[in-house]
C-alpha cells in the first residue's frame, strides 16, 4: 500500500474540480510530511511506533548522557571488564580467606590440644608432656610431666613444656616473644599473656576472627554461586548451536570442526565411494585410486551428480590427479602436467581480475577442469567481521555449494585478505561471495 494516496486529475476542463483535487493532494502530502523524521530536528521529530532497523546497524552514535540514551559497544565494555576483574578478585579473596582461616585454626587447635581447662583439683588420668590446666582452688597453673604427674609451673626458664622440672608454688606462664618463662605471682586465667595480651583476650580475638572469616566465606560462596549461574551449560557441549569440547590433548575434537578444517582421520577403502565433500586419506590398498602411493583425497560435491575429486600423492614427487562424477560414471584420472588428458603443459595462469567481481557466477567453458586461484580482500574504516566464501553450481543460479570459506575480523582502519584454490568441473559455474568484500586477484590455469 502506498504511503500517500493522491487523486489523479484527468483534465482541467472543470477548473473548480481540478483546483479542489490539487489542494486535497497538497494537504495529504503535507500531512504525510508531518509524519516523517526531520534531519535538522524540526518538530515534530519523534517516533509514534516501533522503528524496525531490519537487522541493520546504527553507526556514529554519540556518548550516552541520560538513562534513556542508546549505549554503544564501547560504553558497555568497561562494565564487562569490571565484572571480569571482580570475578578474578573474588577468586583471590577466597584463597586468602582460606589461608588465614587455616592459620587461625592451626593456632587455636595447637593451644586447645594442650589446655584442658580450669579445674578445682588435678584432673585424673594419664597425659602427655606439657598438657596444661588451671587450678581454680589454688589459682595455679599446672603442667603434666610423664612419670611425675601434675606439677606447678616452676620459676626457672626453659624452652619447651617437656622440660618441666621440680614443682614450685605460685608461678604462671609468660611468653616474652622468644622463650617461655615463669614469674612468681598469684595469677588468674586473665593474667596469662601471649604477645602482650591476656589469654582470654587472645581466645576472644581468635573466635571473632573465625566468625568474621566464616562470614566472608559465606559472602564469597554467594558471589561464586552467582558467577557459576552464568556459566555455559554442560548439556550444550558438543551439540548443534552449543559449544565444542576439548579432547585429551586440549584440542577441539576433529568431528566438531568445519569439514575444511578437519585433519585427515577418515581412511577410504574405495575412491569411487567417496562422494561426500570432505578430505580423506588413501593408503596403498585403497581401490580406484590413480596410484598405489598413499595420499590425500579432496572431494567437492556440488550435488549427487556433480562430484570432483583431487588426489595428491603424499610422497615425492607429490603428483596430483583430478576426475569428475556425473551420477552414473567417473571420468578417467587426469594427472597435472599432461598425463592421461590432464593439464596441458602449454597452459598458463591467466589474470582475470579485471573481468571478475564478487557475487557473480562464471562458467567454465574451457572444455577441461579449471584450476582457479582467487584472493578476496576487505578494508574497513570502522571494523567489521564476516566470512569469505567460494561456491560452485551446476546451473549458475541459487546459492550453489560452498567449497571453501574463511572467517575474517577486520580492525578499524585496516584490511584482511584470504586466498583460495578450487577446481571447477567442465561446464560448472564458480562464484566468490556474495559479501561486502572485493576481488583482489583472480587467476585461471588455462
CA terminus-to-terminus distance, the chain: 53
Q: What's the confidence (pLDDT) of residue 61?
A: 85
Q: Are strands 334-335 and 320-325 parallel, antiparallel or unpaired?
A: antiparallel
Of the three residues 275, 302, 335, the one that is the final residue of a domain is 335
Q: What is the CATH number of the domain that holds 385?
A: 2.60.40
Are residues 211 and 262 located together in one domain of the fold?
no
Whether the CA torsion 337, 340, 346, 347 is positive or negative: it is negative
Are residues 360 and 422 located together in one domain of the fold?
yes
Are residues 84 and 224 located together in one domain of the fold?
yes
Q: What's the confidence (pLDDT) of residue 389?
A: 92
Q: How far apart are CA 402 and CA 405, in angstroms?
A: 7
Place 343 in a pLDDT band, splitting at 50, 70 and 90.
low
Are residues 204 and 124 located together in one domain of the fold?
yes
Lowest mean pLDDT among 50-54, 199-203, 253-257: 253-257
Q: What's the confidence (pLDDT) of residue 354?
A: 94
Q: What's the confidence (pLDDT) of residue 355?
A: 95
Q: What's the confidence (pLDDT) of residue 154?
A: 55
Query: At residue 157, does pLDDT exceed 70?
Result: no
Q: How far apart are CA 312 and CA 309, in angstroms?
A: 10
- pLDDT, tens digit, 9 for 90 and up, residues 83-96: 788 778 778 877 88
Domain of 304? 254-335
Of the three residues 183, 198, 230, the one that is the final residue of a domain is 230
Of the three residues 198, 230, 262, the one that is the final residue of a domain is 230
Residue found by looking up cell 580450669 in the block: 118
In terms of pLDDT, which residue wins out, 337 or 42?
A: 42
In 3D, which of 316, 272, 317 has the Cα closest to residue 297?
Answer: 272
List CB contacts of 410: < 8 A, sequence separation 6 or more: 378, 379, 380, 383, 384, 385, 416
Q: What's the confidence (pLDDT) of residue 52?
A: 85
Residues in the chain: 446
* Environment class of 357 (CB within 10 Å of its CB; exposed 0-12, middle 13-18, buried 19+): middle
Q: What number of other Cβ atoms are within 10 A of residue 40's Cβ?
A: 5
Are residues 277 and 384 located together in one domain of the fold?
no
Reduced to 3 states, what is the DSSP secondary structure of residue 250? coil
Half-sphere exposure of 96 (CA within 13 A, CB side): 8
Give the mean model confidence (pLDDT) for residues 47-66. Answer: 85
**Domains identified in the chain, total number:** 3
Kindly report the pTM of this predicted structure: 0.30
Q: Which residues of 265-274 are buried (b: 16+ CB within 10 A; e: fewer)?
A: eeebeebeeb
| E strands present in 177-261 | 180-184, 193-194, 197-198
Are residues 141 and 118 located together in one domain of the fold?
yes
Are residues 120 and 207 located together in one domain of the fold?
yes
Identify any residues that bridge with 423 across adjacent strands, giving them in sequence order.
371
Strands ordered across the beta sheet of 334-335:
278-282, 295-303, 306-313, 320-325, 334-335
Are residues 356 and 440 located together in one domain of the fold?
yes
Are residues 286 and 427 located together in one domain of the fold?
no
Domain membership of residue 344 (yes or no) is: no
Give the mean model confidence (pLDDT) for residues 320-348. Answer: 75
Place 17 in a pLDDT band, splitting at 50, 70 and 90.
confident
How far lies 52's CA from each of 60, 68, 171, in Å?
18, 18, 89
Q: What's the confidence (pLDDT) of residue 129?
A: 83
Are residues 118 and 210 located together in one domain of the fold?
yes
| E strands present in 115-224 | 115-119, 132-135, 140-145, 149-152, 171-175, 180-184, 193-194, 197-198
Reduced to 3 states, what is the DSSP secondary structure of residue 405? strand
| DSSP symbol at 123 | P
Domain membership of residue 50 (yes or no) is: no
Domain membership of residue 85 (yes or no) is: yes
Place 316 in a pLDDT band, splitting at 50, 70 and 90.
confident
Are residues 160 and 213 located together in one domain of the fold?
yes
Q: What's the confidence (pLDDT) of residue 193?
A: 58
Are residues 130 and 268 located together in one domain of the fold?
no
Q: How far apart are CA 179 and CA 76, in angstroms?
A: 59
Give 305-344 as a DSSP string: TEEEEEEEESSTT--EEEEEE-SS-BPPPEETTTBTT-S-
Place 339 in a pLDDT band, splitting at 50, 70 and 90.
very low
Domain membership of residue 3 (yes or no) is: no
- pLDDT, tens digit, 9 for 90 and up, residues 97-110: 788 778 777 776 77
In terms of pLDDT, which residue wins out, 438 or 40?
A: 438
Average pLDDT over the chain reads 78
Amino acid at each position: 500500500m502506498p504511503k500517500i494516496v493522491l487523486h489523479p486529475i484527468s483534465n482541467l476542463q472543470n477548473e473548480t474540480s481540478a483546483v479542489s483535487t490539487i489542494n486535497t493532494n497538497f494537504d495529504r502530502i503535507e500531512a504525510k510530511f508531518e509524519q516523517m523524521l526531520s534531519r535538522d530536528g524540526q518538530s515534530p521529530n519523534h517516533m509514534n511506533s516501533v522503528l524496525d532497523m531490519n537487522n541493520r546497524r546504527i553507526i556514529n552514535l554519540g556518548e550516552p548522557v541520560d538513562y534513556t540514551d542508546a549505549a554503544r559497544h564501547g560504553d558497555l565494555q568497561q562494565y564487562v571488564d569490571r565484572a571480569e576483574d571482580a570475578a578474578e578478585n573474588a577468586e583471590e579473596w577466597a584463597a586468602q580467606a582460606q589461608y588465614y582461616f587455616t592459620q587461625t585454626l592451626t593456632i587455636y587447635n595447637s593451644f586447645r590440644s594442650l589446655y584442658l581447662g580450669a579445674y578445682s583439683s588435678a584432673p585424673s588420668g594419664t597425659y602427655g608432656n606439657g598438657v596444661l590446666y588451671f587450678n581454680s582452688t589454688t589459682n595455679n597453673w599446672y603442667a603434666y610431666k610423664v612419670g611425675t604427674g601434675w606439677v606447678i609451673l616452676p620459676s626457672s626458664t626453659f624452652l619447651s613444656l617437656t622440660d618441666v622440672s621440680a614443682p614450685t608454688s605460685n608461678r604462671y606462664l609468660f611468653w616474652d616473644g622468644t622463650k617461655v618463662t615463669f614469674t612468681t605471682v598469684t595469677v588468674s586465667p586473665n593474667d596469662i599473656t601471649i604477645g602482650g595480651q591476656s589469654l582470654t583476650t587472645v581466645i576472644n580475638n581468635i573466635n571473632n576472627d573465625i566468625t568474621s572469616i566464616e562470614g566472608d566465606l559465606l559472602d564469597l560462596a554467594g558471589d561464586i554461586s552467582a558467577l557459576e549461574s552464568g556459566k555455559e551449560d554442560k548439556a550444550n557441549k558438543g551439540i548443534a548451536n552449543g559449544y565444542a569440547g576439548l579432547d585429551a590433548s586440549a584440542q577441539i575434537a576433529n568431528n566438531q570442526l568445519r569439514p575444511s578444517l578437519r585433519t585427515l582421520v577418515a581412511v577410504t577403502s574405495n575412491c569411487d565411494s567417496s562422494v561426500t565433500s570432505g578430505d580423506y586419506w588413501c593408503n596403498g590398498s585403497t581401490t580406484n585410486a590413480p596410484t598405489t602411493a598413499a595420499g590425500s583425497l579432496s572431494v567437492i560435491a556440488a550435488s549427487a551428480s556433480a562430484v570432483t575429486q583431487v588426489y595428491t600423492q603424499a610422497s615425492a614427487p607429490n603428483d596430483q590427479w583430478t576426475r569428475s562424477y556425473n551420477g552414473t560414471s567417473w571420468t578417467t584420472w587426469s594427472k597435472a602436467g599432461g598425463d592421461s588428458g590432464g593439464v596441458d603443459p602449454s597452459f598458463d595462469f591467466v589474470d582475470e581480475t579485471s573481468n571478475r567481481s564478487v557475487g557473480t557466477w562464471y562458467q567454465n567453458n574451457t572444455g577441461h577442469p579449471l584450476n582457479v586461484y582467487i584472493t578476496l580482500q576487505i578494508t574497513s574504516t570502522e571494523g567489521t567481521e564476516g566470512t569469505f566464501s567460494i561456491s560452485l553450481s551446476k546451473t549458475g543460479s541459487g546459492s550453489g555449494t560452498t567449497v571453501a570459506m574463511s572467517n575474517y575480523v577486520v580492525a578499524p582502519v585496516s584490511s584482511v585478505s584470504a586466498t583460495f584454490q578450487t577446481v571447477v568441473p567442465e561446464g560448472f559455474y564458480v562464484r566468490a561471495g556474495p559479501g561486502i568484500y572485493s576481488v583482489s586477484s583472480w587467476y585461471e590455469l588455462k
